[in-house]
Structure 1
Amino acid sequence: MQSFENVVQAAERTDFSGAVRVDRAGHTELALARGFADRSHGTPNTIETQFATASLTKGFTALVVASLVDSGVLDLHTTARSILGDDLPLIADDVTVEHLLAHRSGIGDYLDEEALGDITDYVMPVPVHLLATTEQYRAVLGGHQTVFPAGSRFAYNNAGYVVLALVAERASGTEFHDLVRTRVCEPAGMVDTEFIRSDELTGRAARGYLAVSGLRTNVLHLPVRGSGDGGAYSTLADLSAFWEALFAGRIVPSAWVDEMVRPRSEWPQEDRRYGMGFHLHATNDAVFLEGSDAGVSVASLHQPSTSTTYTVVSNWSNGAWPIVSILNEQLGI
């Protein structure tokens, strides 16, 4: 069993607030929690704390859609327009489910991260309490012009995954959060993963903080309840269970997993590739999900060839990344 003393030291040196877990060949080699879930009351983070996951949630959305395609409710070539009707008219008529899954849709993004500057500077364009259901997100999805023709290139797009959630919800007749629960969480045994309102956090959920110290939280920066592009809360144990279930074919059939982790785009600016809903290492078989938002930073990775899984999740905006870098170096990923 490998020592991870350097990770422990880095957590102390950087005032890490969050939790870390490393599993290899079915054995947990590191489980660490540090900092506070609630700084005001001195409530510590634990390895059982529920953390917000930001864009890591996109992997769940992609699997909901893949499950619906596998069930015959949708098809990869289903156009968003055929489901949306007259809603969101600026989305081009030829944009398909597959384009949206692979970030190749070209639709305008309501949350263009490259144009918004520091992650803690921006706020939502409507009051955050008005973004609690997927249908309510139509208020921020509309009014954004097409950026490029569908399928012509890759561009990471938050709006595309909310549109996917809306398409999945309307096509199935089931509310999106329930689709994640029944089609992803339950098959994977993820008992502590859910979309929690930021104004109704449970006793086990960590508040998200905008800086390494201080009491200011992210409650005014994010939708009150997440949707297809981010916002689920989860735990170390659940995310470990997620990867095991995914590659065992318990969420969607293994053939679908292979299709989702097949490289569809190069992403040289980020030194990686992208499939459908999943980030892919530039040169090896590692598959990962990550999220970065005001008060949230998380990365969860699985490498099939070495049976290695790790999750680093932090409840402040930049907390996870120093630990992720050390783990990638030590594990040779």
Structure 2
Amino acid sequence: MNFTHQTINELIKKQNETLPYSGAVLVYKEDEEVFEQGYGYANRSERTQNTAHTRFAMASGCKIFTAVAICQLVQDGRITFDSYLKDCVGVPLPAFDPEITIHHLLTHSSGVPDYFDEEVMSDYEELWTHIPAYSMQSPRDFLPMFQDKAMTFSPGGQFSYNNSGFILLGLIVEHVTGLEFTTYVEKNIFQTCGMSDSGYFRMDQLPERTALGYIDEGATWRTNVFSVPVQGGPDGGAYTTVYDLEKFWKALLNHKLLTPAYTDLLFTPHIRASEYIYYGYGVWIVKKAGAIFKYYVMGSDPGVIMHSSVYPELNIHAHMMGNINKGAGLIAQKLDELIYPNL
């Protein structure tokens, strides 16, 4: 396998000829850095370059933090995966099936109505036409968008990607611990991993080295400041760097966040999403010929794109984060093909 700095550089260079990327890429093989590079601008007006140390928004890529938080609470005996939502959320949800469990929420099989149903709408910005994005500052702020709507199917009936389910998981973390969700994650995940560049930063209070998200509209562009919630939470919106992503994966795989048994549960293919793709707890899993090909998390919002992969058999980690809404998945696909030419 010709997996070197040069081959990865050529791969991305060729991709940039047709679809210029704006973001950062970091690749490790067997715990050694193989490639790191920034592309485009973190701030176009000031022409500040993106680097591997630039902080980017994660969108849904940070659902894995929510899953780890829940697994920690199960590991500590405070809840179980079979606990009913109604018993551990502290919020009345009369329209929801009382049989919904935490396992259902973690695996997108609960049937709760999604506040952003990607099967019927594709533009996340549409959500904020009547609700200002700056008013969304905690998990509870999302409840009016879905808590009184009817169930879409019976719990456990099927896989259907669901943001509302992870909002509810965040509310469970708050109810069980008495902490704000973001505080819990920053203390029990980011600090444990040494992720000093990561956080749930408000978009109107971004720290240094943070990329602005850009929405390109032909010859013009605008930032995404009015297009996503002002602060992230359990379903998405944390900020991190490609280096902090590497720290997170290493800590998770080396059982610094969860015991081996609960780490295995997180990475178990609990439910099938498509022919080759499964979902664990907060993580996507690709299987080929009955074996695990890779674990990955991904996210996409207006002005945000990311894809972070771990190939366990070869001990390769590849992290792509960007401040536009395209490119990371295409680079990830090219890396897949480079790693396994016959994929």
Show the counterpart of 1:6. 10
Provide the rounded CA distance (Å) in 2 between the counterparts of 1:86 and 1:50. Answer: 34
Residues 18, 313 of structure 1: 8 Å contact kept: yes
Query: In structure 2, which of residues 309, 322, 327 is the aligned counterpart of residue 314 of structure 1?
Result: 322
Between 1:108-117 and 1:81-90, the stretch displaced more is 81-90
Q: 1:273 to 1:86 in 2, by over 3 A?
A: closer
1:186 matched to 2:194? The reply is no
**Structure 1 unaligned residues grouped into runs of 5+:** none
SS of alignment partner, residue 184 of structure 1: helix
How far the C-alpha of 1:10 sits from its partner, in A, is: 3.1
How far the C-alpha of 1:87 sits from its partner, in A, is: 2.4
For each residue in 1:242-269, what CA deviation from the matched residue of structure 2 results, as whole angstroms up to 9, or x when unmatched? 1111110001111111111111111117
How far the C-alpha of 1:328 sits from its partner, in A, is: 1.3
Q: 1:138 to 1:316 in 2, by over 3 A?
A: same
Q: Give matches, 1:284-295, under 5 Å.
A: 284-285=291-292, 286-295=294-303
Q: 1:138 to 1:121 in 2, by over 3 A?
A: closer
Show the counterpart of 1:216. 222
Show the counterpart of 1:241. 247
SS of alignment partner, residue 245 of structure 2: helix
1:147 matched to 2:156? The reply is no
Show the counterpart of 1:106. 111
Q: Give matches, 1:1-333, under 5 Å.
A: 2=4, 3-10=7-14, 12-13=16-17, 14-119=19-124, 123=128, 126-211=131-216, 214-268=220-274, 271-283=276-288, 284-285=291-292, 286-332=294-340
How far the C-alpha of 1:320 sits from its partner, in A, is: 1.4
Between 1:91-100 and 1:46-55, the stretch displaced more is 91-100
Paired residue type of 1:181: E
Residues 22, 311 of structure 1: 8 Å contact kept: yes
**TM-score (norm: length of structure 1):** 0.95
Q: 1:124 to 1:173 in 2, by over 3 A?
A: farther
**RMSD (CA atoms):** 1.8
How far the C-alpha of 1:140 sits from its partner, in A, is: 2.3
Residues 90, 175 of structure 2: 8 Å contact kept: no
Between 1:80-89 and 1:155-164, the stretch displaced more is 80-89
For each residue in 1:49-97, what CA deviation from the matched residue of structure 2 results, as whole angstroms up to 9, or x when unmatched? 0000000110000000000111122111111111234523222211111
Between 1:285-294 and 1:88-97, the stretch displaced more is 88-97
Q: What is the total number of aligned residue pairs between the two structures?
A: 332
**TM-score (norm: length of structure 2):** 0.92
How far the C-alpha of 1:117 sits from its partner, in A, is: 2.5
Q: 1:78 to 1:165 in 2, by over 3 A?
A: same
Paired residue type of 1:9: K
Provide the rounded CA distance (Å) in 2 between the counterparts of 1:158 and 1:88. Answer: 16
Between 1:259-268 and 1:20-29, the stretch displaced more is 259-268
SS of alignment partner, residue 258 of structure 1: helix
Between the aligned residues of both structures, percent identity stands at: 31
How far the C-alpha of 1:183 sits from its partner, in A, is: 1.8
For each residue in 1:293-313, what CA deviation from the matched residue of structure 2 results, as whole angstroms up to 9, or x when unmatched? 111111101122111000011
Provide the rounded CA distance (Å) in 2 between the counterparts of 1:330 and 1:39. Answer: 32
For each residue in 1:193-235, what CA deviation from the matched residue of structure 2 results, as whole angstroms up to 9, or x when unmatched? 1001111122211111112864311111211101111000000
Between 1:87-96 and 1:222-231, the stretch displaced more is 87-96
